[in-house]
A and B are shown apart, each in its own frame.
Chain A
């Protein structure tokens, strides 16, 4: 292959789409193989599993005339065959396999460009030095296995052929554009519904208006269906991001003479691609922190009575309409003393006895306690960046740490970003959207239902006292609290609750989220904006931050 003109055009993309996951699968398997070897297991089942993907990559590369990719895949295949008959589990061999699969991934990814021929030559030379002539007795079984693999490859091809009639590849930007247009359609539909209500109020109930109402409801239902289908189309499994992590962690750990095992689960859980794309970086950041700062060296671990190998667990699960990702390590835990010292140097008042409060400090800007600036972590880009990204996505992040036992980060993410169901409220004639996912209830205020405790509003909601704040004071629409507001919205997350007093409840609406323009600065209580049916812009309130806002009213 030469640069510039690519005789294969679109075909090369198809090659990459098909072979990249296979190459990555091979890479993951080698990392796992290395671990098994350390435990004294030859990992023959893994070696067998590897043959199919390697063979397919080799075959497809040959078909495309990508001789470099072909020869690297071939070399790895040969070594696997050799290992199956004559296991030689040692660190050098593991290193060769992992670096070889890394090279293969690079080569497949950049199949359209020029390969790094020095690296390839180096690898092939090293690979050749490991290849020993297989003993005769193993020859026949290796051949039989090869035949079997060939058959399997044929099966894979025919399966792919059968699929191709139903599956097409679409540029994700088209799905984005479709969603954008759908969003506009939904706004226009809401505008028509607004006009309808004005008209109905003017001329009263007529048969024609009832027909119009039914037609409008049908349009709304159709839009909802279309939205559901489109949202489903945008979902991809989390494993597309998780899959990169075992190799990443291995590299990080090796550079620090640490042993870390990665366990992932829930990779099949689907998430909107737009959310997933933005999650890669924060997750890498958290994993890097865990390996660099959390998990101890084998010596330290043995002294602490733990196994020399640390464990990193990545778990995704679906919990009540949200995706929860937990990242746990079994390292030393957060250094509370250092966090407190840092807090003091920044002039923050923190109660040392409230562990949760101390731990949550790590999300503040500029709060990196890393002793030394390393190449991979602690560059001053701290967890505040991670926390900001998660909040921008409408998610939450929490940390739990136990000294000597490890740290768990829990990320809660919305399934999808673009359209969210919201409650539209009015405060001092300004309209705001409150995302429904944290609205527990709306309550009409009766006289004397809001009590005063320490000059702050308190209401009894479902038998428990909750803090009720004036929406106008909170959002700056009024200088002082207005006792005549008729409703309060109960926002709830975990065991925290708060009521926000508003003037009117306008209704529920699916709103299209527009991100906040950086010109506006960083308003804490606003997560984005949206355009309402009447064409006016409304701010979307950030329920999580509303719960945290301190205010006097």
Chain B
């Protein structure tokens, strides 16, 4: 889980984005096909997308209480209208240094199986609709053994959105 391979991965993705840009000169289909409805958020220079169906709400970061001896990649717990919400530090889960809370930080409240939990992100950009046909697998060269939570990449305007499989990302083995 060192941070060293990180630049390679994002460089790889950016390179891949350039390639996709080249491909996108092909005229779009006249009839829009099925679309993915995503909530996107940013971590460092990368943009991620999760299906809107799994997102309950996005909240501002207030106090996050640390929990002694909690599992790795858990930032702590926060009060969501009287409910105690576990907040996952997905940055460390992805091999990045822990988040610094800024005014732009947000907690994305998601439902994974029966669990409701929060993921701490640097910024939340927006809700986008991405044609399914623009989704491609991420190039193998940028993936590694512990990145199986990346289910693909989607091209949207000039951006490249990394699609996340929340089950694989968040439901760590007990």
Using a CB–CB distance below 8 Å, which chain A residues touch chain B? 184, 187, 430, 474-477, 514, 517-526, 529, 531, 535-539
Residues of B contacting A477 with CB < 8 Å? 66, 68
Given contacts A536-B63, A537-B63, contact A520 B68 (CB under 8 A): no
Residues of B contacting A521 with CB < 8 Å? 69-71, 74, 174
* B117, A536: Cβ atoms closer than 8 Å: no
Residues of B contacting A517 with CB < 8 Å? 77, 84-86, 115, 117
* B79, A536: Cβ atoms closer than 8 Å: yes
* A523, B69: Cβ atoms closer than 8 Å: yes
* Bound-complex Cα distance A59 to B67 (A): 59
Given contacts A531-B82, A537-B84, contact A519 B117 (CB under 8 A): yes
In the complex, the chain B residue whose C-beta lies closest to that of A431 is B65
B105 contacts the other chain (CB 8 A): no
Given contacts A519-B115, A519-B117, contact A475 B68 (CB under 8 A): yes
* A525, B68: Cβ atoms closer than 8 Å: yes
In the complex, the chain A residue whose C-beta lies closest to that of B63 is A536
Given contacts A529-B77, A537-B63, contact A519 B68 (CB under 8 A): no
Would you list 5 pairs from A and B whose C-beta atoms are within 8 A, ordered by A residue?
A430-B66, A517-B84, A519-B71, A529-B65, A536-B63
* Bound-complex Cα distance A354 to B74 (A): 38
* A537, B68: Cβ atoms closer than 8 Å: no
Separation in Å of the B115 CB from the closest CB of chain A? Answer: 6
* B84, A526: Cβ atoms closer than 8 Å: no
Residues of A contacting B68 with CB < 8 Å? 474-477, 523, 525-526, 539
B88 contacts the other chain (CB 8 A): yes
Residues of B in contact (CB 8 Å), total 24
Q: Which of B65, B66, B174 has the most CB of A within 10 A?
A: B65
Residues of B contacting A514 with CB < 8 Å? 83-84
* A526, B67: Cβ atoms closer than 8 Å: yes
* A539, B82: Cβ atoms closer than 8 Å: no
* A526, B82: Cβ atoms closer than 8 Å: no
Q: Which of B76, B84, B170 has the most CB of A within 10 A?
A: B84
B40 contacts the other chain (CB 8 A): no
Residues of B contacting A523 with CB < 8 Å? 67-70
Known: A536-B79, A537-B78. 17 other contacts (CB 8 A): A184-B82, A475-B68, A476-B66, A514-B83, A517-B85, A519-B115, A519-B170, A520-B86, A521-B69, A521-B71, A522-B71, A526-B70, A535-B63, A535-B79, A536-B63, A537-B65, A539-B77
4 smallest CB-CB distances across A and B, nearest first, come from: A521-B71, A523-B69, A519-B86, A517-B86
| Interface secondary structure of B, over-half rule | strand
* B79, A531: Cβ atoms closer than 8 Å: yes
Residues of A contacting B84 with CB < 8 Å? 514, 517, 529, 531, 537
Residues of A contacting B69 with CB < 8 Å? 476, 521, 523-526
Separation in Å of the B64 CB from the closest CB of chain A? Answer: 8
Residues of B contacting A519 with CB < 8 Å? 71, 74, 86, 88, 115, 117, 170
* Bound-complex Cα distance A524 to B71 (A): 11
* Bound-complex Cα distance A538 to B115 (A): 21
Given contacts A529-B77, A529-B84, contact A520 B67 (CB under 8 A): yes
Separation in Å of the A496 CB from the closest CB of chain B? Answer: 20
Separation in Å of the A350 CB from the closest CB of chain B? Answer: 24
In the complex, the chain B residue whose C-beta lies closest to that of A188 is B82
In the complex, the chain B residue whose C-beta lies closest to that of A517 is B86
Separation in Å of the A12 CB from the closest CB of chain B? Answer: 32
Q: Which of B63, B66, B82, B117 has the most CB of A within 10 A?
A: B82
In the complex, the chain B residue whose C-beta lies closest to that of A187 is B82
Separation in Å of the A521 CB from the closest CB of chain B? Answer: 3
Identify which of residues 28-61 in chain B touch chain A, using a CB-to-CB cut-off of 8 Å. Answer: none
* Bound-complex Cα distance A520 to B64 (A): 13
* Bound-complex Cα distance A137 to B174 (A): 72
Separation in Å of the B32 CB from the closest CB of chain A? Answer: 38
Residues of B contacting A476 with CB < 8 Å? 66, 68-69
* B65, A536: Cβ atoms closer than 8 Å: yes
Residues of B contacting A536 with CB < 8 Å? 63, 65, 79
Residues of A contacting B170 with CB < 8 Å? 519
Q: Which of A474, A520, A531, A538 has the most CB of B within 10 A?
A: A520
In the complex, the chain A residue whose C-beta lies closest to that of B66 is A430
* Bound-complex Cα distance A535 to B82 (A): 8
* Bound-complex Cα distance A525 to B85 (A): 19
Residues of B contacting A538 with CB < 8 Å? 65
Residues of B contacting A531 with CB < 8 Å? 79, 82, 84
* A430, B67: Cβ atoms closer than 8 Å: no
* Bound-complex Cα distance A514 to B85 (A): 10
* B65, A518: Cβ atoms closer than 8 Å: no
* A430, B65: Cβ atoms closer than 8 Å: yes
Separation in Å of the A216 CB from the closest CB of chain B? Answer: 21
In the complex, the chain A residue whose C-beta lies closest to that of B88 is A519
Given contacts A184-B82, A529-B77, A537-B84, contact A520 B71 (CB under 8 A): yes
In the complex, the chain A residue whose C-beta lies closest to that of B112 is A519
